[in-house]
Chain A
């Protein structure tokens, strides 16, 4: 089965450090989402891309977060500097166009900032 691959699976870092999370969407999928999941806030949409162009990143703290798609096989989410409140599970999802067939999620990156 085709899958969305996220790395790393787990990341523990110290406050103030830069964190980079990577996502390999399913080949041929042209829409990529980044979500953050916490117990308190549930699933929050951070940013999403269509054909590598950012469509909406209004859910992302602009001062420290950045999301890019350097090519069709890689999406990145960076946090610089990281803070303890960024601790969460970050999910990437990919799909085709308007998602009529649903979107496929990766297994997530569990980030802990100490």
Chain B
């Protein structure tokens, strides 16, 4: 079945460091890909999305490119802030329109 695999956390960085969180997927057809972010005590918020191969989603300095050849959708940010500390979820929406999540990656940014 369709699935999403994320790198294990926590990812610990100093402020202004470069961030990469790896995400790969397994799916039939052409899924849409998403990154969601969850701050403590809150629900998930859509961070960015890409709906077809080579699309780049971007928001709040975060970027991810839909790579069909490597079935990947890695999240990147050039300079993280303390306020970016949260749990990040990679997800796909398959032909059934179900949203399938990875296990989440906790990011901790220290001043």
Contacts and interface: CB of A to CB of B under 8 A. Distances in A.
Interface residues of A, number: 24
Contacts of A100: 32, 49, 51, 93
A91 B43 CA distance: 7
B89 A43 contact: yes
Contacts, number: 52
Contacts of A101: 49
Contact of B97 (A4, A91, A98, A108): A98
- Interface secondary structure of B, over-half rule: strand
Interface stretch (B18-26, B65-73, B74-82, B100-108): B100-108
Interface of A: 4, 31, 33, 42-43, 45, 48, 50, 55-56, 91, 93, 97-108
Given A42-B103, A106-B43, 5 more contacts: A33-B99, A43-B104, A45-B98, A98-B93, A102-B46
Interface of B: 32, 34, 36, 41-46, 49, 51, 89, 93, 96-104
